[in-house]
Structure 1
Amino acid sequence: VSFLQMREANELVDVTLVFGDRRLACHKLILAGMCKYFHRMFLTDMVESYSKEIVMKDINASTGVLLIDYFYTQQIDITTHNAQDLLEASDMLLIDTLKRSVEEFFCELTDKSNCISLLNLARFYDLKMLREKAQDTVCNIQVDGMDDIEDMHLLEENDLVTILKASDVLDDSFCLVQKWILAVERSNAFDSLLQLLKKKMLHNKHGMELIQHLTQLYLVNDRPEKPSLMVGTFEGEMWQSIHSETWQPIQKPRNLNEVYSACAHPDGRLIISGGVFMNTIQSDCHYYDAHTAQWNHLPPMPTVRAQHSSIYHDHHVYVIGGNDGRSFLHSVDALDMRSLEWSSLPHMPQPLQCSYVVSVSDTLFVLGGMRDGWVDWSVDVHQYDSTGKTWHQRSPMPEQCAGGAAVALGDQVYVVGGWNKSCMKFNPQIDSWVSLQRPQFSHWYGPALVWNGCVLVCGGSEEDSIEEYSPLTDKWRTWTMTLPQKQELRFAFRILL
C-alpha cells in the first residue's frame, strides 16, 4: 500500500494543511521527507510541530492541491497558468527540486516577448539558469525589435545599456531610450540613465553620439535651467515664455531688419543676420543674450542677404542662400564664433531662398526652399560635406513643403508644416523618406523645434496654434498655450536660462 493510497483512504494521516477553502489531510513523514520547510517545522519546538492543523496563508487552494499531489507522486503538471504560483510556493517552502523544475519550464518559454519580465523574475528568486537565459535573450534583441515588447517598463537601466551597447544604429537607440523613459514613468529616469550611459558607454563612439543627442534633446546640464520658448516674426517682433503660458516681449534693438534669418547658439544666444531695412537688403548681424537680455553686434556678412537660412554648427554660424535684391543666391558663408572671422564656402548646387537647414552629427542638410518667385518650391535635398567641402545631392522630398520647417531629431530629419500640412521623415543613412501623419493646422511659415523628444510646430500665417508631433506614436496634439499673434514667424527656439 502506498502513502498516496493511505492518504486517499484517510489512513494514519496526522496533520491537515489548510489552503484557502481546501483542507488536505497528510502524513507528516511525507511532508518532512519532501520539503525542508516542513522538516524543520516538525523537528523544532514550533507550535505547528504538534498542531493537528496548519494554515498555509500565502498559498492558494489550487496550488496547495498541486503541491500535496507532488509530495506523494513526485509528479506535477507545470503550465503557464500555475508556474509563477508554484515558483513562489517552492521558494517559500524550500522545495528545491520543484523550484528547479519550474525554472527549467520558464527557460523553455523564454523569448523576446517575455525575456524582460523573466529576467526580473529570475533575479528576484535567484534563478541562475533562467537569469542567464533571459539575459542572453535580452542582449540578442536588436534595438529595432523592441517595438512589440509590452514589458518595456520592466527593463532595468543596466539591461537597457546592454542592449544599447550592442546596437550601432543611433536612431534606433535614440527611439528606444525615449520609449523606455515614457514607459517607466519615473521623474528621474532620464537623469539616472544618462549617468549610467556616461559611466559605461563614454569610450564607445556610438555611446558618445547617443549621450550627445540625448543631452541636447532633454537639455540636461549641471546647472539649474529654465527652458524658455522664444519666437519672432518676420517684422522683428519677439517674445519669450518662461515656464508659463504668458508671453513677454523681448526688447528689440533699433534698426532691426525685417525678413532676417535667425539661429540659436547652445549657450543661450539668439543670432540674427541680414534682412531688409528701409527697403535695402543688409549684411549686419546681431546676437541677443538671453541671460543678460542684451543685444550685441557681430561682424557683418560678406554678402547682403534677406530670406536666407542660417544655423549654428560646430562653432560656426552658417548663412545659406537667400537673395541680395537682384537675384536668388547660392553662396554660403560661415562666421567662426571663436575668431569672429567670416569665410566663404563652396556654393550650393542651385540658388535658393527660404530653404530649411539642419545638422545631423557632422553634416549639414539643406532641404527645399524657393528656386524662383513664390510658387516654385524645390523638393531637392543637398548635403554639405564639411571635411571635403563638397555638396552632394540626396533623395528628394516626397512632396513640396512650401513655407514649412525642418528639425533634426536623433539622426533623422523631420520636415513639417507649411501650406500642405506636411510631415515626413528623412533617414540620411539609407537615403530614404517616409510620409507621416499630417498636422491638423496649416503652419504657413511656422517654424519648428525639438521639444522633449517631440517636434513642435509654432503658428504661422493666420495661425496661433502650437502643435506637437510624437515620433513614438506618429500622432499630433495641440497645446492649450497659443502664440501671442497670428502671424508668419521667422524663428522659434528653446533656449536655456
Structure 2
Amino acid sequence: MQSSCSQFVFPLQVASNLREMNLMREQSLLTDVTITAEDREFECHRVVLASSCPYFKAMFTYDLRESTERKVTLHGIEATSFAQILHFAYTGTCMLSKQNAADIFVASDLFGILSLRNAAENFLKKCVDSSNCLQILRLSSMYSCPEVTKIAKEFARQNFIDVTQQNEFLHLSIDDVIVYLNDDDINVAREDLVFDAAIRWLRHQPNPMNLTQRVLESVRLPFVRPEYLKIQSTMEVLLNDNAQCLQKISEAISYHHSDSNCGTFSNKQRKPRKRTSREVVMVFGGETRIGSTHEASNDVSYYDPMTSRWDSISILPGAVSAEAFSVVSLGYEIYLTGGTVNSKATNEVTVFYTYLNKWVKLSNMLVPRYHHTCTAIEDMIYAVGGTNGSRCLDDVERYRSDVDKWEKIEKLVHAIKCPAVATHKEKLYVFGGFTDSYVISQSIQVYTIPDKTWTIISSPMIDYTCAHAAPINSKIFLLGGGSKIVKIYDTETDQVSRVSDMLEKRDNCGVTVVGGKIFVTGGVSESSGPSLMTSECYCPLRNKWERIPEMPRPLHRHGSVSMRIPIYQRTDRVSPRTPRTMTSSEEMTSPGIT
C-alpha cells in the first residue's frame, strides 16, 4: 500500500533565502535595525543577526534597551570588521587574508560566531611571518589559543633578526619588548644583536630615556663584545647621558676580569642564551689508578652527545684539588663543595662559570664535610649528610646564590654518608648511604620543602647498588654501586623496581642526565682494580644501554654533571683558589663570543 504522504526537500532553499535577504539588506528592504560601527551605518534584519550571532540574539531577545531601539551603536569594533561579520551572517562566507584575519578573529570572538572564529584561528596558524608574528602572539595569548601561541612564539624566536627589523617590533609595549628580549630561546649567534634590537626599539619611543635602563636589563650585557659596548657608550645618545646605564656597561666590560660573583647582574644576565650554548656531560677531578700507579686528576673534560666527542677545558694544576667532594650544576654554573684537602675535611665552595671558563670562590659551607651529596632545586643547592672525618653527619644545609649564603635546614632522620640524592617537584629524596659502622641504610629519607619535614620509606631494594640517583621526569634511577644493576624509584607510587642492567659493572663512577638519557662515566669494576675509561648511555624509552666513546683518561671518584656551555668556549687557565691579573690583550676578549 503506497503512502499518502511524501516529503519534498529542496536543499538550496535556505541558501537561496539568505542570498535574497542579503540583497534586501543591500537595498534596505524590510530592514528593522541600523547598526553603527565607527562612523558607518549598516541596515540589517534583527532576525538574521539574532539567528547567526549569540551576541545579537541576547541583545534583541532580552529586556535590553537595544531590543526596541531602531539604531544601535557598537563600540570597540572597526567598521571593516563588522562588514565582514555581517556578510558572513547573511551568506555564510568570509574572505580571510593576512590583513584582516586577526581583526575577524577578534570580532567573531566578540559576537560568539565560533565557526568563523575557528576558521580565522586556523588561518592565523598558516600566515605567521616576520611582519605579524608578534601581533599574532599577543592576540593568541590574550584569547587563549595555545596552538597559535606556540607557532607564533617559535617563529618569533627562530627569526629574531628579521622580526626586530619590522615596524611591529617598534610598536611593542615596554612590557612586551622586555618579555621578548628576555627569552632564553631567541635565535641569535651573538648578544650584540639583542643589544642592537633594544637600542632600535628605544629610539622609536617618545620618551626613551625613562625606559633605557629597564630595557637594557633584558640584554645579557656581559656577553656583548666589550669593544662594541665601548663604542656604543660613546656614540649612542641614549647611553652616554645615562649614568646608570654607563655604570652597567662598564661593569659588563670588566665582568670577565673580576673574581667576584658579580652580584650586580641578575642570574639570567650572567647566562648565555640556549641557542649560543649546548648541553654536555661535564666531568671533574677524581682519581686515576693503573696498576700500582695512583694519581689525583684536576682535569675538567666534557662529552658532547651531539658530536659524540670528548673535549677538555684547560685549568691551572690544583684547580680541582679536593678529593671526595660533591659537584652539582645550577643553571650554567658548576658548584664544587667540600671534600678533603690534605686528608682533612673542608667546607670550601667554588663555582665554575662555564660561560667565562673561570673559577670563583664562594662563601664556605657551615659544616666541613666530605662523602656528602649535593643536589639543586628551585635555584638552591642542598648539601646532604657526609662525614667530617670523625662521624657521619645528619646536617643538611642549602645555598642561596642570590645572596651567596648557606643556611641550615631540618636534620636528616638518620645520619649517613655517601647517599644517593635527587629531587622531584618540591621534595628531596635521600637513598641509602652508610652509617658510621658502614651498615648500609635500606631507607629513603624524603624531605618535603614546603612543610619542612622529613619522612622515612623503608625498602629492601635500597642497598649498596643504589650509589647514584638520576631523576628523569617522575622516575629516579638508582645505579653505580659495584654492580651492573639499575633500579628505578617511582615518586608517584613509592615503588622500587628493576630495569635493564648496565653493560659493565661499576663502582665510584660518574652519573648524570643529559637530554633525557643517563650517562655513566668511568669508575672501577673491582674495589682495588684499575680506573675505567669506558662510558655508556641509557635510553629510558628503549630501556637499552649503549657504549659511547671513552673518556680522555681513566677516572673514578670523579664528579659528573650536565651543563650547558657556550658554543664559543674560552680556553683561559684559571684556578678557583688563586686569583690572577689579566693582560691588556685579554681585556679585549669577549667572554662568550668570538
For normalisation by structure 2, the TM-score amounts to: 0.45
Q: Which residue of 2 aligns with 1:251?
A: 315
Q: Following the alignment from structure 1 to structure 2, what is the Cα–Cα distance between the partners of residues 427 and 314?
A: 21
1:240 aligns with 2:308: no
Q: Name the residue aligned to 1:53.
A: none
Matches within 5 A, 1:285-364: 285-364=349-428
Match of 1:437 among 488, 492, 500: 500
Cα distance change on mapping 1:251 and 1:482 into 2, 3 Å: same
Change (3 A) 1:411 1:277: same
Deviations 1:328-381 (A, max 9, x none): 10110111111112211111011111111111112111112122355x332311
Q: Distance in 1 between matches of 2:345 and 2:457?
A: 31
Whole-angstrom CA distance in 1 between matches of 2:512 and 2:153: 26
Amino acid at match of 1:263: V
Q: 1:469 to 1:271 in 2, by over 3 A?
A: same
1:203-239: CA deviations, max 9, x gaps?
A: xxxxxxxxxxxxxxxxx96533222321123345232
Match for 2:275 among 204, 223, 247?
223
Cα distance change, pair 306–477 in 1 and its aligned pair in 2 (3 A): same
CA distance in 1, matches of 2:297, 2:340: 11
- Which of the residues 426, 435, 453 maps onto 2:489? 426
Distance 2:460 2:405 in 1: 34
Letter in 1 for 2:342: M
Equivalents in 2 of 1:286, 1:194: separation in Å? Answer: 41
Matches within 5 A, 1:26-65: none
Paired AA for residue 493 in structure 1? V
Aligned-pair distance for 1:439?
Answer: 0.7
Deviation at 1:435, TM superposition (A): 0.9
Could you tell me how far apart the structure 1 residues matched to 2:557 and 2:152 are? 38
- Determine helix, strand or coil for the equivalent of 1:392: strand
* Partner Cα separation in structure 2 for residue 274 and residue 457 of structure 1: 23
| 2:532 equivalent to 1:471 | no
Partner of residue 411, structure 1: 474
Distance change (3 Å), C-alpha of 1:360 and 1:255? closer
Question: How big is the shift at 1:402?
Answer: 4.1
- Whether the 8 Å CA contact 1:357–1:406 is kept in 2: the answer is yes
The offset of 1:494, in angstroms, is 2.2
Please list the CA deviations of residues 119-143 of structure 1 after superposition, one character each: whole Å capped at 9, or x if unmatched.
Answer: xxxxxxxxxxxxxxxxxxxxxxxxx
Per-residue CA deviations over 1:142-199 (Å, capped at 9, x if unaligned) read xxxxxxxxxxxxxxxx9xxxxxxxxxxxxxxxxxxxxxxxxxxxxxxxxx99946999
In the alignment, the residues of structure 2 paired with residue 288 and residue 399 of structure 1 have an alpha-carbon distance, to the nearest angstrom, of 33
- Flag the 1:309–1:299 CA change in 2: closer, same or farther, 3 A: same
Give distance in 2, aligned partners of 1:195 and 1:482. Answer: 40
**8 A contact 1:403–1:445 mirrored in 2:** no
Which residue is equivalent to 1:385? 448
Aligned-residue sequence identity (percent) comes to 18
SS state of the match for residue 382, structure 1? Answer: strand
Gaps of 5+ in 1: 1-157, 159-191, 200-219
Tell me, what secondary structure is at the counterpart of 2:281? strand
Give the AA of the match of 2:322: N
Q: CA deviation at 1:290?
A: 0.8
Instruction: Provide the secondary structure at the position in 1 that maps to 2:412.
Output: coil
Provide the C-alpha distance between the structure 2 equivalents of 1:294 and 1:231, rounded to a whole number of angstroms.
16
Q: Is the 8 A contact 1:260 1:275 kept in 2?
A: yes
Larger fraction in strand: 1
Match of 2:559 in 1: 491
**Aligned partners of 1:368 and 1:377 also within 8 Å:** yes
2:522 is paired with a residue of what secondary structure?
strand
- Compared CA separation, residues 486 and 471, structure 1 to 2 (3 A): same
- Distance (Å, rounded) in 2 between the aligned partners of 1:403 and 1:424: 8
Greater RCO, CA 8 A, separation 6+: 2
- Relative to structure 1, is the Cα distance of residues 248 and 459 closer, same or farther in structure 2, using a 3 angstrom cutoff? same
Query: Amino acid of the residue matched to residue 464 of structure 1?
Result: M
What is the count of residue pairs matched by the alignment? 285
Maintained 8 Å contact 1:308/1:323? yes
Measured in 2, the distance between the counterparts of 1:295 and 1:332 equals 25
Q: Which 5+ residue runs of structure 2 have no aligned equivalent?
A: 1-121, 123-146, 155-271, 287-295, 525-530, 566-594
TM, length-normalised to structure 1: 0.53
* Kept in 2: contact 1:381–1:397 (CA 8 A): no
Q: Secondary structure at 1:433's aligned position in 2?
A: strand
- Give 1:478 deviation, angstroms: 1.2
Alpha-carbon offset, residue 450 of structure 1: 1.4
Q: 1:485 to 1:468 in 2, by over 3 A?
A: same
Residue in structure 2 matching 1:265, options 330, 350, 354: 330
Paired position in structure 1 for 2:464: 401
8 Å Cα contact 2:323-2:339 kept in structure 1: yes
Contact 1:397 1:433 in 2 (8 A): no
Question: How far did residue 476 of structure 1 move?
Answer: 1.2
Q: Is the 8 A contact 1:318 1:333 kept in 2?
A: yes
1:221 and 1:295, CA in 2 relative to 1: closer, same or farther beyond 3 A?
Answer: closer
